[in-house]
Structure 1
Amino acid sequence: MRTSSVEINELNEENWYECCALEISESQTKYIESNAISIAQSKFEISLKPFAIYYEEKVVGFLMYNTVREELDGYWVYRIMIDKNYQGRGIGKAATQLMILEMSKLPNAKKIIVGYNPENKEAHHLYASLGFIDYGDRFGKEMAVIKNINK
């Protein structure tokens, strides 16, 4: 799926290693697992769908979501990251919009949920700008925000 110069493609033998080589900024390392761990997790939890994020045909990010409803009766975003050299260009927002379109096609998709550390201001800004709402749900150290899907 594509929007302007951003597209997401399912992880495959041609892009998985590039996703593993991506880096986040030092300040973000406490908020997110490495892409290699996320990719390994997707091989054992088969309901997880990993994608490479492309910008102008170059792999610049990674995202993953669950295809099975979980807590709060919604589909959860597990990971989204953009390489530190490509942050601040709107790529993460465009990729998240594409992911939301894909997730809204899942059976009985009424809610998309993402959990993140409340100190992660970049994540908060991104999800708030896309219409995710904080209803006060907390899971350990993470807050969960919800986007209601209107079909």
Structure 2
Amino acid sequence: MNSDNWREALELSVNAEQQKFVASITPPVAIALAKAYIRPDGRVVEPYGISDQAQLLGFFNLHYTPGSVEDYWIFHFFIDKKFQRSGVGSKALNELIRHLKKAHPSCQRLRLTVHPQNDAGKLFYSRLGFSDDQILTFGEPTYSIKI
């Protein structure tokens, strides 16, 4: 994300019934960008747009403690409603893992939370190799993948 595309990112959205799975704020990118500035819990927060070069298709934040082994988290991951079920989400997560291996070689685990009612999300992350850690973070199941 940068000064050229942040306004475009604010236009990204999910279906109304999916909103609670991404953020309690609409548009979800607004809260995610604010967190990049505020840095909750002192972590670095990097906002990422998911694009196909021509347009933004989705968004997520990467939260981490520099040099950490396991304190790497994805928050507010979503694909715009117009591009869901097209493989964009899988490609984006695979690209993120490649990026982590290169830019953050100390990272050994990537974590995220899934809303308890988001059955499609649980299945999506499981298919990509994430496992349910059987713990709750912020009241939501925590999933992780070894890097």
User: Is the pair's TM-score, using the shorter chain for normalization, greater than 0.5?
Assistant: yes
Does residue 49 of structure 2 align to residue 88 of structure 1?
A: no
Q: Percent identity?
A: 25
How far residue 41 of structure 1 moved from its aligned partner, in angstroms, is: 1.2
C-alpha distance in structure 1 between counterparts of 2:31 and 2:135, whole Å: 26
Q: TM-score, normalised by structure 1?
A: 0.83
- Structure 2 segments unaligned to the other structure (5+ residues): none
Q: What letter matches 2:37 in structure 1?
A: K
Q: What letter matches 1:22 in structure 2?
A: L
Q: What letter matches 2:119 in structure 1?
A: K
Q: TM-score, normalised by structure 2?
A: 0.85
C-alpha distance in structure 2 between counterparts of 1:24 and 1:125, whole Å: 18
Match of 2:122 among 97, 121, 124: 124
C-alpha distance in structure 2 between counterparts of 1:135 and 1:78, whole Å: 16
How far residue 61 of structure 1 moved from its aligned partner, in angstroms, is: 0.8
The two structures, once aligned, show a CA RMSD in angstroms of 2.0
Report the equivalent of 1:39. 33
Match of 2:19 among 19, 22, 29: 29
Higher relative contact order (Cα pairs below 8 Å, separated by 6+ residues)? 1
Report the equivalent of 1:136. 134
Does residue 12 of structure 2 align to residue 15 of structure 1?
A: no
C-alpha distance in structure 1 between counterparts of 2:124 and 2:54, whole Å: 23
Q: What letter matches 1:54 in structure 2?
A: S
- Structure 1 segments unaligned to the other structure (5+ residues): 1-10
Structure number with higher strand proportion = 1
How far residue 119 of structure 1 moved from its aligned partner, in angstroms, is: 1.4
C-alpha distance in structure 2 between counterparts of 1:79 and 1:59, whole Å: 15
Report the equivalent of 2:109. 111
C-alpha distance in structure 1 between counterparts of 2:120 and 2:6, whole Å: 25
Checking the alignment, whether the CA contact within 8 Å between 2:133 and 2:141 is kept in structure 1 is: no
Secondary structure (helix, strand or coil) at the match of 2:104 reads coil
How far residue 56 of structure 1 moved from its aligned partner, in angstroms, is: 5.3
Checking the alignment, whether the CA contact within 8 Å between 2:57 and 2:83 is kept in structure 1 is: yes
How far residue 29 of structure 1 moved from its aligned partner, in angstroms, is: 0.9
